[in-house]
């Protein structure tokens, strides 16, 4: 397929390019910054809020991977973040629907649940947390991801476009991931506890995107995509006891089992992230 990848110069975007090109797809890329990669068939540099740029990038593509967004809430103007992420999501998905694109894979976030960036600590109602867990979001970043998922549903209703919204946790590889594991080991509380120690190797994120493009799916689907274990070397039961006491445990958890239900990822996409964190790695594993 000819696939448009927005946010192609970003951390996840680079790995998605690798995965799609290795699978034989032709890639069209967009980003706000120059892309130092000669492999895409076309590159469009500019802001996704620009309707003409999005229309030009969408020309002739069969599928879209939408990664282009402000990827965190650490900005001075939360309203501007919310507006930018919502407008770019609508611009990309609506243009895809109007031009006959049949499949869109969009990067949502587990922040849509509302735990990660809550101004006061919150605990889930139950674990493992599935896609039906009630949303308690307050922050503009998480709220923009809720809006993305609603835009995806509206796009499917209006145009029949198949959309997969992937709720990612912290995503990293190499030194970025190593530093994250070190921070969690040093202090599993605070932000790490708010994120329920969810994580994902970027290579697994890219493979999940590829599987979502290839899966024979209709409709609009929101899917948790996370590693099967936590980012902490501590046992999961100990993490819950310390930081989320009293939470209902609805399924048996392995010693270092993750707190997000990823069964829908396996069932819908035929894929589960393979890489493991510091607590459940065997000798010599990476």
DSSP-assigned letters across all residues of 143-166? HHHHHHHHHHHHHHHHH--EEEEE
Angle at 90 between CA 3 and CA 150, to 5 degrees: 105
Residue 127, classed as helix, strand or coil, is: strand
Residues noted as catalytic: 141
Q: How many helices (H) and strands (E) does the chain have?
A: 9, 11
Which stretches of 86-244 are assigned E, i.e. beta strand? 103-109, 126-127, 162-168, 170-172, 199-201, 220-224
Alpha-carbon distance 44 to 264, whole Å?
A: 34
DSSP conformational letter for 251: S
């Amino acid at each position: 397929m000819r696939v448009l990848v927005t946010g192609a110069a970003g951390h996840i975007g680079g790995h998605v390019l690798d995965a799609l090109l290795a699978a034989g797809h032709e890639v069209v890329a967009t980003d706000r910054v120059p892309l130092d990669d000669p492999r895409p068939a076309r590159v469009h540099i500019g802001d996704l809020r620009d309707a003409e740029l999005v229309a030009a990038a969408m020309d002739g593509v069969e599928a879209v991977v939408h990664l282009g967004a402000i990827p965190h809430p650490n900005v001075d103007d939360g309203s501007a973040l919310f507006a930018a992420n919502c407008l770019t999501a609508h611009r990309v998905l609506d243009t895809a629907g109007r031009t006959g694109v049949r499949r869109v894979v969009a990067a949502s976030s587990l922040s849509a649940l509302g735990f990660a960036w809550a101004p006061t600590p919150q605990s889930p109602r139950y674990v493992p947390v599935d896609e039906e867990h009630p949303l308690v979001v307050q922050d503009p970043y998480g709220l923009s991801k809720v809006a993305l998922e609603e835009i995806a549903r509206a796009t499917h209703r209006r145009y029949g476009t198949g959309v997969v919204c992937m709720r990612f946790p912290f995503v990293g590889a190499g030194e970025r991931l190593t530093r994250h594991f070190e921070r969690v080991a040093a202090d599993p509380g605070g932000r790490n506890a708010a994120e329920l120690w969810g994580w994902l190797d970027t290579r697994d994120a890219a493979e999940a995107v590829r599987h979502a493009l290839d899966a024979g799916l209709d409709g609009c689907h929101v899917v948790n995509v996370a590693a099967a274990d936590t980012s902490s070397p501590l046992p999961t039961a100990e993490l819950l006891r310390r930081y989320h006491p009293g939470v209902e445990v609805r399924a048996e958890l392995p010693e270092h089992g993750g707190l997000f239900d990823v069964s829908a990822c396996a069932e819908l996409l035929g894929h589960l992230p393979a890489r493991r964190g510091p607590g459940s790695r065997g000798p010599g594993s990476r």
